[in-house]
Amino acid sequence: MNGAQHILDAFHRHSISTVFGYPGGCIMPLYDALVDDVGVEHVLCRHEQACALAADGYARASGKLGVCIATSGPGATNLITGVANAHRDSIPMLVITGQVPSGLIGTDAFQETDVLGMTLGIVKHSYLVDDADSLPAIMEEAMELAQSGRPGPVWIDIPKDLLLADVSDARFPRSEPREISFPDLAEALTMLRAARKPILYSGGGISLAHAEDRFRTFAESAALPAVVTLKGIGNPGKHNPYNLGMLGMHGSRAANKAVDECDLLLVIGARLDDRATGSLDGFAPNAKMIHIDADAAEINKLRPTELAIRGDLNDILETLTNALQDKPLDIGDWQKQCRTWYTTGGFHAADNEEPLAPITGPAFVRQLSRIAPDDTVIACDVGQHQMWVAQHYDFDHPRHHLTSGGLGTMGFGLPAAIGAQFADRNSTVINVTGDGSFMMNAQELATIRRYNLPVKLIVMDNQCLGMVRQQQELFYGNRESQINLDDNPDFVAMARAFDIPALHISRTDQIRRGIETILAYNGPMLLHVAISREENVWPIVKPGASNREMIDETRRTSKKEHVA
Amino acid sequence: MKPQSQSSTPSYKISCRMSQEAAALERLCQVVRIRGFRIATMAVESAGEHLDITLTLEGTRPIAMLQSQLEKLHTVAEVALGQVSGVRVQTA
């Protein structure tokens, strides 16, 4: 068995059935081995960045390890954005690249780049294989590392000669299961019982720990008013009456107000990102904090915490749930106050009742949320549409909302949707994108067509980079700079060129029919939605300001039309 | 003529034991830099399969934050903090 065959063998042993990749010179031995391997489905994307982002989407939607493969040099450098995206959002990913033959490393050989050196800051760990016999142990360790603790991408760079070299049938060490002592939760319960205004603050760590069900049970039975980060959307479930929605820069007034007033923050699986907290000086100024997280380096990183807890999140949540069921918290006044804030300051944008009116982003997303099946996976891109989805789509599970939270990668949505569709061929997967983001990985329409994936594409087209335009309007004296995209291609014709049918809508009375048409179609379909160029995401907190200083539509400086 | 200014930057000594691997020192230095510290001195000693590294660092951020980030590195076995050497006055 050579190195390439061993990699495929390791995939089999770890039940990895789908990988995303693009061949090239130095990775050719692996592609040669794939010819004889029928157990691994290789998805050929049309750009290495899309391979990494598709592997990311696959991992987010399935909870499994995402795998991407590329050749040396430009293949590896094209992966970098996708791998950085996975790193920032702690997505379990295995990256395999070919490298120039061992003897040519350091000679500026054709398609040589120092992959190990240039990727140090965007991986959980990385390897440059220097001995074929070390490959088995490296493969085992890499797959374990990528998925354990706080997950993340692990990159293995393998010289071409070692892919071809015989790998001895070495016994590789199995990693010992880690023993984690169960934390004492008595102090946490004491703090929760002493609090008069506690808030449950959850993030992406819930689904990373596969603790979605236990979290939901805890949130419902504890009846704690709850806020979520962008990656935590869906954690409390759509029917939790105490869910105040997303906090932060584009969070709800209710969520930011409740955090501002609370006296205890119970933070679970979140890292207090600046987009969520705003200026830390003004963040939850009266609150003590309990921080539960898998990563010790997140404790006290940005804000001192009174109590830090590490351990198996499922066990912790079960213990807390049982304790609070035995003796519920006495926070009736606070619950009532938070509900009032939610009624007046939640995301309740009214639908536009005027049938011929232009389509607004919030109204479209609310209709989509009502019409799409409950288990629909929405893969967003980055920009205004991403925030409208976060604000107005009613998610019932965090794995239904795929979004580039940490890195904010335009071009994420389409390949992520491809990955999600491979994770479950029968699920409804919709890529909600903008005209700017769509063009960043539009070549992947060819991948959708090739594999006949029934991915639905919704392009919310405002003919500009809307989020940048909005910030230029609000924070740069309305001086628009390099945001105009009014020379976009005809997206409907473009989709059809890839043999993907497409529809165009522009009026409010066309929303329902447009959404129902693409959902009913048996195959991929694109819906082009023309929206106003001048529409903004409200509310907004100026970058660097406190979440108390939310700006709403009444502060708009533009003279142009207002939207609902 | 360069402008004369004074700044005070805390200085720390930190010892680290990590596995010998292709990018060991780069990996360590990359974390030190991105987390806001400057390496003033560095001593490296090879000890079998390990490297023992002693660093003198300058930086204004909490050193505990850097320690926890270094401890996250898969190939780092141990990180020990020396005594804070006090506030050093630096003249630019």
The pLDDT tens digits for B44-56 are 999 999 999 999 9
Domain range for B32 is 6-91
Instruction: Sketch the domain layout of chain A as residue ranges.
Output: 3-164, 186-345, 361-555
* Location of structure tokens 């998805």: A43
d(CA A35, CA A519) in angstroms, rounded, equals 36
CB contact under 8 A, B22 and A297: no
Contacts of B26 in chain A (CB under 8 A): 117, 120
> Which of these CATH numbers, 1.10.580.10, 3.40.50.1220, 3.30.930.10, 3.40.50.1000, describes A186-345?
3.40.50.1220
* Interface membership of B19 toward A (CB under 8 Å): no
- With CA atoms as reference, the chain A residue closest to B22 would be A128
Instruction: Nearest chain A residue to B68 by CA: give it.
Output: A297
Q: How many CA atoms lie within 13 A of A426 on its CB side?
A: 0
Is the separation of the CB atoms in A67 and A142 below 8 Å?
Answer: no
Q: What is the pLDDT of residue B8?
A: 82
The pLDDT score that the predictor gives to residue A483 is 97
> What is the H or E stretch that residue A427 is in?
none
DSSP A177: P
* Cα of B67 to nearest chain A Cα, Å: 8
A65 is written with which tokens? 């390890």
A3-164 carries CATH number 3.40.50.9100: no
Q: Which residues of chain A does B27 touch, with a Cβ-Cβ cutoff of 8 Å?
A: 120
Q: Distance between CA A10 and CA A516 in Å, rounded?
A: 43
Interface of A with B in 95-124 (CB under 8 A): 116-117, 120-121, 124
In this structure, what CATH number is given to the domain that contains residue B87? 3.30.70.260
- Residue owning tokens 């609150």: A287
DSSP A48-100: HHHHHHHHHHHHHHHSS-EEEEE-STHHHHHHHHHHHHHHHTT--EEEEEEES
For residue B47, give the H/E element and its range. Answer: strand B38-47
Distance (Å, rounded) from C-alpha A43 to C-alpha A422? 9
In chain B, how many domains are there?
1
Angle between helices A332-345 and A253-261 (to 10 degrees): 150
Q: How far apart are CA A358 and CA A356, in angstroms?
A: 7
In a domain, B78, yes or no: yes
Q: Average pLDDT for residues A162-182, to the nearest whole number?
A: 72
ipTM above 0.95, yes or no: no
Residues A227/A231/A236/A239 CA torsion (nearest 10 deg): 100
Give the start-end residues of each E strand in A137-263: 153-159, 198-202, 226-228, 243-246
Q: What is the pLDDT of residue B7?
A: 60
DSSP state of A459: E
Model pLDDT for residues B4-63, shown as the tens digit of each residue: 445 689 999 999 999 999 899 999 999 999 999 999 999 999 999 999 999 999 999 999
Cβ separation B26–A117 shorter than 8 A: yes
| A59-85: pLDDT as tens digits | 999 999 999 999 999 999 999 999 999
Distance from CA of A293 to the nearest CA of B (A): 14
Determine contact: B65 vs chain A, CB below 8 A.
yes
B31 in a domain, yes or no? yes
**Residue A227: beta bridge partners?**
A201
Residue written as token pair 């006495």: A330
CA distances from A109 to A104, A114, A132, A446, B80 (A): 6, 11, 21, 32, 41
* Residue A398 CB partners (closer than 8 Å, separation 6+): A204, A206, A207, A212, A231, A232, A233, A234, A235
User: If you average pLDDT over residues A401-429, what whole number do you get?
Assistant: 98
B78 touches chain A (CB under 8 A): no
Spatial distance between the Cα atoms of B36 and B62, rounded to a whole number of angstroms: 9
| Neighbour-count burial for A102-129, b at 16+ CB within 10 Å, e otherwise | bebbeeeeebbbebbeebbebbbbbbbb
Q: Give CA–CA dist A131/A158, Å, rounded.
A: 9
CATH architecture of A361-555: 3-Layer(aba) Sandwich (3.40)
Those residues whose C-beta lies under 8 Å from the C-beta of residue A1, and which sit 6 or more positions away, are: A9, A166, A167, A169
Q: How far, in Å, CA of A229 to CA of A390, rounded?
A: 10
| pLDDT exceeds cutoff 90 at A210 | yes
- Find where tokens 């903004």 sit: A536
Instruction: Give the nearest partner residue to A116 out of B23, B68, B72, using CB atoms.
Output: B23
Instruction: Read off the pLDDT band of A556 (50, 70, 90).
Output: low
Q: Which residues of A are catalytic?
A: 48, 110-111, 160, 467
- Confidence grade of residue A562 (pLDDT, cut at 50, 70, 90): very low
Looking at the complex, does the CB of residue A145 fall below 8 Å from at least one CB of chain B?
yes
Distance in angstroms (rounded) separating the CA atoms of residues A147 and A517: 39
**Whose CA is closest to A444, among A86, A40, A43, A42?**
A43
Decide: helix, strand or coil at residue B75.
coil
All residues of chain B having their beta carbon less than 8 Å from the beta carbon of residue A102 are none
Looking at the complex, does the CB of residue B33 fall below 8 Å from at least one CB of chain A?
Answer: no
pLDDT score of A256 more than 70: yes
Please report, as a single letter, which amino acid is at residue A199. Answer: I
Q: Which 3-state string (H, E, C) describes A212-223?
A: HHHHHHHHHHHC
- Shortest distance between the Cα of A99 and any Cα of chain B, in A, equals 14
Q: Which residue of A has its CA nearest to B72?
A: A297
Helix then strand then coil, % of chain B, to nearest 5:
25, 50, 30
Query: Under a CB-based contact definition with an 8 Å cutoff, are residues A329 and A315 in contact?
Result: no
Q: For position A311, what pLDDT does the model report?
A: 86
Of B23, B69, B74, the CB nearest to A297: B69
Residue A511's contacts (CB-CB under 8 Å, 6 or more residues apart) are A359, A363, A364, A367, A505
Nearest-Cα distance to chain A for B3, in Å, is 30
Q: Which of B22, B34, B64 sits opposite A128 (nearest CB)?
A: B22
Q: Which residue of A has its CA nearest to B26?
A: A117
State the Cα–Cα distance between residues A549 and A260, nearest whole angstrom.
Answer: 11
**Distance of residue B40 Cα from the nearest chain A Cα, in angstroms:** 22
Q: Which of A124, A130, A295 sits opposite B22 (nearest CB)?
A: A130
- Chain B residues in contact with A127 (beta carbon < 8 A): 21-22
Whole-angstrom Cα distance, residue B92 to residue A532? 53
Confidence of residue A168 (pLDDT cuts 50, 70, 90): confident
Q: Does B77 touch chain A (CB under 8 A)?
A: no
Could you give the angle at the alpha carbon of A134 between the alpha carbons of A129 and A140, nearest 5°? 95
pTM tops 0.80: yes
Residue A210, CA distances (Å) to A57, A271, A272, A285, A545 in order: 16, 17, 20, 31, 34
Cα–Cα distance, A106 to A115 (Å, whole number):
12
pLDDT at A535: 92
Answer yes or no: is B1 within a domain: no
Q: Residue B73: its chain A contacts at CB < 8 A?
A: 125
Looking at CA atoms only, how far is residue A127 from chain B in angstroms?
Answer: 8
The distance in angstroms from the start CA to the end CA of chain B is 11
Q: Which residues on A lie below 8 Å from B25 (Cβ)?
A: none
- Across the interface, whether the CB atoms of B22 and A116 are under 8 A apart is answered yes
Task: Decide whether A3-164 matches A361-555 in CATH topology.
Answer: yes
Residue A347 has what pLDDT? 85
> Mean of the pLDDT values across residues A359-372?
96
Nearest-Å Rg of the Cα atoms of chain A is: 24
A287-326 tens-digit pLDDT: 999 999 999 999 999 999 999 999 889 999 999 999 999 8
Q: Is B49 on the interface with A (CB under 8 A)?
A: no
In Å, the largest CA–CA distance within chain A is: 72
Residue A560 is predicted with a pLDDT of: 43
Residue B47 contacts A, CB cutoff 8 Å: no
